[in-house]
Structure 1
Amino acid sequence: MEQRQEQRQERVERVERVVVLALDGVYPFELGMPSRILGAADGRYEVVTCTVDGGPVATAADFSVTVDHGPEALRTADTVVIAAVTPSRIAASLTDETAAALALVRPGTRVVSICTGAFVLAAAGLLDGRRATTHWCVTDEFRRMFPRVDLDPDVLFVDDGDILTSAGAASGIDICLHLVRRDHGSELANKVARRCVVPPLREGGQAQFIEQPVPEPSTASTAATRDWALARLGDPLTLTDLAAHAGMSLRTFARRFNDEVGLSPGRWLIQQRVSRARHLLEASDLPVDRIAGEVGFATGASLRQHLHATIGVSPQVYRRTFQATR
């Protein structure tokens, strides 16, 4: 944690160079995410795009992309982003050109994948024994190709220190915002989200987007109850309270909530309380016990337990990390 704090302070004092690698079959949407999101972070990042040979690449759309940089740009990167490619281009091994390009990345460089870009990292051996994610549609194929990777298909992204992987498509936005939040704090990340007209932190995981029967038009949603709960996180909310507000039975509410959010009501409440606590730790000097009460944890010990389970550090360490840049 101390090493990450030092790296974070260093990033505040200089411009982070992010090099995005575009491979044949790249999705244009995902390719543009780092430039659009990180480029809105008040000049904290310089984003450049390269290919393995400096030439144009065919995209997953009906056009090609020409870039200004070849693989030598990877030598200069503080962070490398592997953009998503169409599933028809994924493979269990790297092409010679891709392997040679990735060999130029300096040791210790942060590496990020968007969507199917995780296949490239796995094929390079960078994910062996590590937790990662990718698009839920290709999880079976990923597990077959790379059984040594601890794949979690239920989350929007995985932060495993120097390697970060994101799930399908728009979760690339989530991971780019997470990079800003991790490097420079939630205030700047929230500002970037507002500029790009996207939510600063999405709820739940990929499960809410997996294909499932569409509910009847008359089916009630749990959205209003989620908004109601967010305004009352400091209260000791129970599943009974939530179901009563939604006007549903406990079983129906729990099932519908999980279908919509991808989490159980209990897990979702903990996630929201931890998120609110993180904001208060970053933006205020309130004592930990006071923050615990504000967000609905019974004691400071409970907050410490849930924060550590979520991000692996104590409230004091988390606050000290963010206060270094306040």
Structure 2
Amino acid sequence: MGDLLGDRAGTAVSPRKRLRELLVSGQPVVAPGAYDALSARLVEQAGFDVVYMTGFGSTASLIGRPDVGLLSGAEMIDNATRIVSAVDVPVIADADTGYGNALNVLRTVRSYEQAGVAGIHLEDQVMPKKCGHMSGKAVIGREEMVGKIRAAAAARRDPDFVLIARTDAAAVHGLDDAIARAKSYADAGADVLFVEAPTSEEGIERVAGELRGVAPLVFNWAEGGRTPPMPLDRIAELGFSLVIFPIGTLLAATAGIRSLLDVLRRDGTPAAALPAVPSFGEFTDLMGLPEVNELEQRFSGE
């Protein structure tokens, strides 16, 4: 866990090296979405090796709005910083379009790297972007995005920092263009490729068939999105290296909060809902209160 007095510098393998090892392990890395530090801690405590910072969930949790490009890069990086500080496993963060042109990408990459994330994904949408599973998207030209990927590769100080290139072109220009773009992004320096929102199993199989071997591949198991849900063993068989589940934690939290509020409004107190939620003591333990108590004793000066 991301303890208050943890010593990451003393660990044998950095989170970035660990992410790279996982991506070439031969088994897909499962990365549930986290939208804040609390959800990230719960992902780690559940035993997952990687946390994915979702832009969709970050927007919903920070400003209560849909993922249509309303958050700034600074707000996203602040959220990433808090998430990284809460966990010890690698964090992959949504970096949207890089928040501008190739020059903006330089600063974006440096800022996310300073935040401590293990990797980011950059997409080729026109700003302001939209969630990849919404309608009405537009993409920039291929060569412009190639320049942004080249800038990202040049900007990173740590060679283990993972650059994921995402293309949203399938919904705009078709799968042929999306696959061609992905190949050119790999040539420009992307470590991992992410073709967003294929809408059929045949499309998924084609992405895997044409890009497997070019670079590790991302499968976005977007809960309720446009891509058909597939079993993890089939995703592994197709050769995807990273599977993100971006918004399941957010949807579950929404359902839980609604349920408790319904009880509170009906009964006047939340008592009937409390058996289904963690106790106060259990929750404070999950959040690291025992460590805080130990540190208070250690540094009390008595």
Relative to the length of structure 2, the TM-score reads 0.30
TM-score (norm 1): 0.28
Higher RCO (C-alpha under 8 Å, 6+ residues apart)? 2
